[in-house]
Amino acid sequence: MHSIKSVNEFVIRFANVNGTGSASANLLFAKSLFRMGIPVSPRNVFPSNIQGMPTWYEVRVSEKGYLGRRGGGADIVVAMNAQSLAQDMRNVLPGGYFLYDSTKPLDPALVRSDVNILGMPISEICLREYTDPRQRQLFKNVIYVGALAALLDIEFEVIKGLIADQFKGKEKLIIPNIYALELGHQYASTNFKCPLDVRVKRSDQVGDKIMLDGNTATGLGAIYGGASVVGWYPITPSTSVVEKFMQYAKRLRIDPATGQANYAAVQMEDELAAIGCVIGAAWNGARAFTATSGPGVSLMTEFLGLAYFAEVPVVLVNVQRAGPSTGMPTRTQQPDITACAYASHGDTKHVLLFPSSPKECFDMTADAFDLAERLQTPVIVMSDLELGMNDHLSEPMQWDDERRYDRGKVLNEEQLDEIERFGRYLDVDGDGICYRTLPGTHAEKGSFFTRGTSRDRYAVYSEQGDVYVDNVDRLTHKFKTAATLVPPAKITRQGKGQKIGLIYYGTTAAAISETVDTLTEKGIKVDSLRVRAFPFGQEVADFIDSHDQVFVIEQNRDGQLRSLLINELEINPRDLKAVLHYDGLPITARFISGRIEELLLDAGNKKSTRNVASR
């Protein structure tokens, strides 16, 4: 039989039942390859459920550093879920491998002649070795990792080192775990031809990179960015942002002398209250944030309008998931671009940041506090489930100790003393950003009413047309100032004068280097631009102008960023072709390059048809 031959370039898929402890064993597998210097990208594909349903964990191993989802079948499937055996067998590529628990014989109807089937009686081994039912379940997972170590030639010392790290402080657990690993390793070495043709080899492609999920990095970004008040409400896939914030705050934000907390994280009753808490804290001069997902954003929109109009700095992290409504709560998408850019009734616009890696989650979250306070407006960090909840290879996080927080235009007591008359909404500097005061600053001056109603430059309620227009036009001017302060787009060119441009953002980034390579192999050269913020900078408009064909690649059905580009930069819709992927799984290079080829072919055909017609 033909067998796939590949070193450090394959996909392995684990099929498990959720709630059985497989997640930590699967992470152990991925991390051992990472520690061998091999680029990996693990992904959980999990249900919105706590126990008993099928769940998959897919690891792409790529020496070339292609870390987007590959798509298609897997080279190796570790089938540990009896419920999904048929589906999992279908998922193996021809010539691939299917490792299953042979305690119960495989249904002959499932057997494929083009797949290498490796049966290992894992349950039987556990039954023999352990008496405690919980151990029988948990060690199954460790045993298959041991078997994979033999099958794929993973350095055993690396896995042992990881186990020692994992159980630091609980040394009693190290020996039984290593024993279970050895059980698997021994069985595989004795019964299969090890290593397989698909295997790994130590590499140097990881460098000083780290492996972590975006939500952890976001939580840390909020710690480093100086957030001291958090109002929150749990929702998948954003919950771990605040959980990680609190976990690190318990270590890093407790005053050593007094034991008091230099932060307050309040679990509110819903998302409305969560953003309300943030607005109240920010109004009072603390750096505050909340994290949510689509349904939470919908609930927060009234308050976002208040923060926009009353000009209160707010940091909101939106870890997007597939909508609309409850949608697919455990599947990824980029479906909230429009909802966030224009959240709330009336003429509103919000600053958006689009991180594409854990490092950027950290940086952009910390920066969001500076931007929000500088601009006195909500700043929304647009992460997604793929970035937030999965582990990624990432540049390490860095903090410049010389950096000082930009607290924006806030007048203190002395400054108020020097002012004749304080006007909360006076555009003194001409950048659309006015000076604010914090409650309790001055005994006589600086108090004003913060409100969602129209007001004049001195914060006095007004329904006069000219006063209203003066204010909302200044807000437009402020938004233009925002365009100069947000992170600019990243542009990558393939030499000079390319005619095709790709525009993308967020987690689509993981698939782009592979897309560009694939297209180049086919003779299609492209430049690419990664949008990192809204409002768009001039460089985005220039990029579109300087390319004949521009593809906007997104993970939603309606091409929401494309609409935003058309609307905000006054682009002719015909100049932007949409490449849209929205089945809830992360976008792949295969899909992008395939779709672009199709569209180019289409355009070519139309052109020649037109040419024929004109003759």
Partner 1 sequence: MSYQKSSFRHPNLAVNDLGLTHRDYEGSLSTLCSGCGHDSIGASIVQACHELSLPPHKIAKLSGIGCSSKAPTYFLGKAHGFNSVHGRMPSIVTGANMANRDLTYIGMSGDGDTAAIGMGQFAHVVRRRLNMLYVVANNGVYGLTKGQTSATSDRGSKSKGGEENLLEGIDLPTLAIQLGATFVARSFSGDKNQLVPLLKAALSHRGFAFIDVLSPCVTFNNHNGSTKSYDYVRDHIQTASVTDYVPVKEEITTACPPGVCRDICLHDGSILRLNSVAENYDPQDRAEAIAAIERHKAKGEILTGLLYVDPAAEDLHEVMQTSHRPLNTLSESCLCPGNDRLQMINDSFR
Q: Least distance to partner 1 from the beta carbon of 235, Å?
A: 17
Q: Is 224 in the site for partner 1 (CB under 8 A)?
A: yes
Task: List the x/- string, 437-456, binding to partner 1 by CB under 8 A.
Answer: xxxxxxxx--xxxxxxx---
Burial of 62 from C-beta contacts in 10 A (0-12 / 13-18 / 19+): buried
Q: 127 or 252: whose CB is closer to partner 1?
A: 252
The token pair at 192 is 């299969």
Q: Least distance to partner 1 from the beta carbon of 150, Å?
A: 25
Measured between alpha carbons, how far is 190 from 159 in angstroms, rounded to an integer? 20
Question: Across 457-559, where does the E strand assignment appear?
Answer: 490-492, 500-505, 526-531, 533-534, 549-554
Site for partner 1, residues 277 to 296, rule: CB under 8 A: 277-288
Per CB under 8 A, the list member of 228, 240, 377, 515 interacting with partner 1 is 228
Q: Which stretch binds partner 1 (CB under 8 A): 41-49, 75-83, 193-201, 205-213?
A: 205-213
Please state the φ and ψ torsions of residue 253, each to the nearest 5 degrees: -125, 25
Please state the φ and ψ torsions of residue 167, each to the nearest 5 degrees: -105, 30
Per CB under 8 A, the list member of 119, 226, 234, 584 interacting with partner 1 is 226
Q: Is 253 in the site for partner 1 (CB under 8 A)?
A: yes
Q: Any alpha helices (H) in 284-323, and if so which ranges? A: 294-310
Place of tokens 């706590």: 50
Q: Is 501 in the site for partner 1 (CB under 8 A)?
A: no
Per CB under 8 A, the list member of 134, 404, 496, 615 interacting with partner 1 is 404
Task: List the x/- string, 313-332, binding to partner 1 by CB under 8 A.
Answer: --------------------
Measured between alpha carbons, how far is 281 from 42 in angstroms, rounded to an integer? 38
Listed residue (205, 135, 216, 163) closest to 27, CA to CA: 163
Q: Is 67 in the site for partner 1 (CB under 8 A)?
A: no
Residues contacting residue 158 through CB under 8 Å, at least 6 positions apart: 32, 35, 36
Given a contact cutoff of 8 angstroms between Cβ atoms, the answer to whether 202 and 37 are in contact is yes
Site for partner 1, residues 510 to 539, rule: CB under 8 A: none
Residues in the chain: 615
Q: Is 417 in the site for partner 1 (CB under 8 A)?
A: no
Q: 189 or 447: whose CB is closer to partner 1?
A: 447
Q: How many residues bind partner 1 (CB under 8 A)?
A: 72
Per CB under 8 A, the list member of 11, 178, 198, 211 interacting with partner 1 is 211
Q: Least distance to partner 1 from the beta carbon of 107, Å?
A: 42
Q: 229 or 512: whose CB is closer to partner 1?
A: 229
Given a contact cutoff of 8 angstroms between Cβ atoms, the answer to whether 515 and 589 are in contact is yes
Per CB under 8 A, the list member of 82, 127, 173, 252 interacting with partner 1 is 252
Q: Which stretch binds partner 1 (CB under 8 A): 253-261, 325-333, 348-356, 542-550?
A: 253-261
Give the side-chain half-sphere CA count within 13 A for 208: 5
Please state the φ and ψ torsions of residue 335, each to the nearest 5 degrees: -95, 0
SS3 readout for 530-584: EECEECCCHHHHHHHHCCCEEEEEECCCCCHHHHHHHHHHCCCHHHEEEEECCCC
| Single-letter amino acid, residue 25 | A
Q: Least distance to partner 1 from the beta carbon of 604, Å?
A: 47
Measured between alpha carbons, how far is 370 from 366 in angstroms, rounded to an integer? 7
Site for partner 1, residues 24 to 53, rule: CB under 8 A: 35
Site for partner 1, residues 254 to 273, rule: CB under 8 A: 255, 258-264, 266, 268-270, 272-273
Q: 132 or 400: whose CB is closer to partner 1?
A: 400
Q: 407 or 525: whose CB is closer to partner 1?
A: 407
Q: 450 or 549: whose CB is closer to partner 1?
A: 450
Q: Is 484 in the site for partner 1 (CB under 8 A)?
A: no
Give Cα 588 to chain centroid, integer Å.
15
Q: Which stretch binds partner 1 (CB under 8 A): 94-102, 208-216, 489-497, 527-535?
A: 208-216
